[in-house]
Structure 1
């Protein structure tokens, strides 16, 4: 048990730094770590991924709140952009959890890995200058729903899609990261509640689980990820925009590689 707590503490620190620095929810670190740890605890394989994703989203509710608060204090959040995005991501996140509860998810994992690679390669190129036109409310709502849906499916805060999209629309990197961090809260909250509902009454859940949210892991991760996310958010305002953008792209490539390898291994075993 002590080893498990140490693992969750280390993962929590890494996840928090990523959440604040890149506008990600930290799930890209937490989900794989929990899948491995839950496997070591001999949890039923059929619910391991769902439990990891649901718990990750619950953790992101806290880390996104802390990171978003830090960005808000610095006046970096674009509220005029955030407000029209919220309804779409909330709806998408809820539906994403519903879909995830019905699917094994390996094919989606592979497709998402390819998508992240394309996004990362695009981020390494020079992006439009600040001030480019944003889409209308209808298109923005559709994009927001897609971001919320994919985020809920994979237990991430949405930054892997929100930040590149805002950059394509000409939003400055620091402002895109700050807005993405704030947007992670409604995504994670809607997704986490949906995972609790979808997993409610599941007979194979371990003790300490609330639907598809494993409370012991949630507590262990949050204790370390929340303060680390504040540090990451502060670092985001000190690093040069160009270097931050390239670093973000490299993080996406690493995430994509992990998803691709794990997805291919699972498919081959099946």
Structure 2
């Protein structure tokens, strides 16, 4: 039975790698949506390493796989973060003044991250991703939440912080909520509003980063079929087709499952991903 199944998958991959990637990403998107709703994380932490593993199996050149994974992850975050931001705005969880203060920096940083990713050698980029994920995994494992009553600093310092958040997020293919929420909380923004503002900022980061990766990929040789710059459309369609729907299940299970324990389990998984990325 297993031999027949393997033969079937080999036939599908050889006949239509796009169809194979789309089918696998449908499953991936379901996992991403459940984890996003359950743990409040962005899907990039799961989408990027999954695509880095998946794309070479579909015949996509290994040196290009990381760029495509980052760009496709950001493109999917545009919709998921946008939907989350809309819901938070309807619930009154978005402080537009805070978002306006952050917006210039995160947009510039998001674009800058895509430029840096294009300049960095392909074999170094996975290790940069691994370092970023290592920090986020340790933060998740320790469940660090910092609070303070200090106000947001001046516009130049907020621009600098937003630029750093946007660049790091774009380099990791994530929406940046793991960075934005602690920053806003440290500066006295109530947690519920910090999460809402981070969702809107994450959508801006994703749009900027995705735009940069699309522009960088225009004219690039050896891109797979059905690509928009570095965004691989079959993978993108597969992820978003199920992730936006599956989010509701994760949200419904929040009160029934030990979320703190699940976060720590997911953090251990991220540590495993870091090791694999460092080892190439």
Aligned to 1:261: 275
Match of 1:193 among 196, 211, 215: 211
In structure 1, runs of 5+ residues without a counterpart are: none
In structure 2, runs of 5+ residues without a counterpart are: 1-11, 13-18
Q: What is the Cα-based RMSD across aligned positions, in Å?
A: 2.7
Q: Is the 8 A contact 1:55 1:214 kept in 2?
A: yes
The separation in 2 between residues aligned to 1:17 and 1:137, in whole angstroms, is 37
Residues 120-139 of structure 1, C-alpha deviations (whole Å, 9 max, x = no match): 36644x6326x443322222
The separation in 2 between residues aligned to 1:248 and 1:162, in whole angstroms, is 22
**Residues 129-168 of structure 1: matches in 2 within 5 Å?**
131-168=149-186
**Residues 1-270 of structure 1: matches in 2 within 5 Å?**
1=12, 4-20=21-37, 24-103=41-120, 104=122, 105-120=125-140, 123-124=143-144, 127-128=146-147, 131-229=149-247, 246=260, 250=264, 253-254=267-268, 256-266=270-280
Q: Rg larger in 1 or in 2?
A: 2
Q: Once the 2 structures are TM-superposed, how far is the Cα of residue 111 of structure 1 from its aligned partner? A: 2.6
The separation in 1 between residues aligned to 2:43 and 2:205, in whole angstroms, is 13
Count of aligned pairs: 259
SS at match of 1:205: coil
Q: Is the 8 A contact 1:89 1:186 kept in 2?
A: yes
The separation in 2 between residues aligned to 1:108 and 1:37, in whole angstroms, is 19
Q: Is the 8 A contact 2:22 2:237 kept in 1?
A: no
Q: TM-score of the superposition, structure 1-length normalised?
A: 0.84
Q: Once the 2 structures are TM-superposed, how far is the Cα of residue 110 of structure 1 from its aligned partner? A: 3.6
Note closer, same or farther for the CA distance 1:42–1:230 as it changes in structure 2 (3 Å cut).
same
Which has the higher mean CA deviation after the structures are superposed, 113-122 or 154-163? Answer: 113-122
Note closer, same or farther for the CA distance 1:134–1:23 as it changes in structure 2 (3 Å cut).
farther
The separation in 1 between residues aligned to 2:151 and 2:141, in whole angstroms, is 23
SS at match of 2:131: helix
Which has the higher mean CA deviation after the structures are superposed, 194-203 or 219-228? Answer: 219-228
Note closer, same or farther for the CA distance 1:230–1:83 as it changes in structure 2 (3 Å cut).
farther
